[in-house]
Structure 1
Amino acid sequence: MISDTHGIVYDAERIIKKYEKNVQMCIHLGDLVKDAVYLQNRFPNLKFEIVRGNNDFTKDFPSEQVIELGSKKILITHGHMYSVKSTYDLIVNHAKAFRVDACFFGHTHQQEEFYSDGILFLNPGSLAFSRDGSKTFAIAEVTPYGVVAYLEKV
């Protein structure tokens, strides 16, 4: 899972190439969807789920969606519509309303993992402009018991 590539796809390409045979899909959480489309074309055998962010001015992709992986439901969104830079209250309440097992979001350019009411909230950070200077992404594994997160750095 990646987010906030902002036109810089070199590291995303390297990561996807490294993991493509061991993952079911790549999730791009917005900013920029054109990067996700490029990556999707570069890796046509890999399933992609893409949502748009605050710097994406196309209506070709949803701003959020609920995907099902195995028996788990996951809300994917960029996060800007829920003011995640200042509070997690809105996104937590939104995810609870959807009764999901996990919520993946971006926008803050900082890796984050936390639980609220049994829901995993996961932000992969940014491969382009991480707040702490490191390039980050995340891997999520869906198990019968829940969704497990692995926060990674390039």
Structure 2
Amino acid sequence: MKIVVLSDTHGDAEIISTVFNQEQDADVFFHCGDSELSYNDDHFNDMIRVKGNCDFDDNFENDIIVNLDDRKVFITHGHLYDIKTTLALLNDQAQEADADFVFFGHSHLMGAEVINNRLFLNPGSLTLPRDGNAKSYATVEWEDDENDLTVYFKTPDKKIISKHLFSILKK
């Protein structure tokens, strides 16, 4: 399985299409909000998407839970969970959702960590990265019957910034 996670593209519809076209082998695409596009914009190409604090189309959901085979994904932008200060509120919500993966944006800082057997992933920003980070998105890849997964942070031209290995036990 291969998942692509984007966030905080802030009006740059073409960068969404660029990543989509580069990652055609992906099974699922997620956008964690602040696209500043309408919900039905053609650039989303069937991406699962949520509302960020800079998205104003009421068709966006704040949070979505998606089942992918035997894994559950909780996706949100993060601003409603105070993620710039702590992941505690987001962790509580992820626990309530019984999520395996938690995808969020908002801070424009890429990062991945495992908390309570859950992968928390922020892909960074493809347009406005902060703290000297490169423009980025993320992919999460794993074999169907495996607990081990790999997270790649990539630049808009698909160069790998970093690679991280994690183990998430199936529930």
Q: TM-score, structure 2 length as denominator?
A: 0.79
- Letter of the aligned partner of 2:43 in structure 1? L
* CA contact 2:12–2:35 (8 Å) conserved in 1: no
* CA contact 1:33–1:52 (8 Å) conserved in 2: no
Report 1:24-103 matches (<5 A).
24-32=27-35, 34=37, 37-40=41-44, 43=45, 47-103=46-102
Listed as ranges, the gaps of 5+ residues in structure 2 are 157-171
Measure, in 2, the Cα distance between the counterparts of 1:60 and 1:153: 29
Q: TM-score, structure 1 length as denominator?
A: 0.88
Deviations 1:67-114 (A, max 9, x none): 011110000000000000111111111101111111000000010101
SS in 1 for 2:119: strand
Of 146, 151, 154, the match for 2:153 = 151
- Letter of the aligned partner of 2:116 in structure 1? D
* CA contact 1:129–1:135 (8 Å) conserved in 2: yes
Moved segments of 4+, more than 4 Å = none
Deviations 1:2-22 (A, max 9, x none): 1000012333322211112x0
Bigger Cα displacement from structure 2, 11-20 vs 62-71: 11-20
Q: Which has the higher helix share?
A: 1
* CA contact 2:31–2:47 (8 Å) conserved in 1: yes
* CA contact 1:30–1:53 (8 Å) conserved in 2: yes
Measure, in 2, the Cα distance between the counterparts of 1:76 and 1:29: 7
What's the offset of the Cα at 1:33? 5.0
What residue number does 1:7 align with?
Answer: 11
Measure, in 1, the Cα distance between the counterparts of 2:6 and 2:38: 11
1:120 lines up with 2:119 in the alignment: yes
SS in 1 for 2:102: strand
* Overall identity of the aligned pairs, in %: 30
How many residues of Structure 1 are paired with residues of Structure 2 in the alignment?
Answer: 148
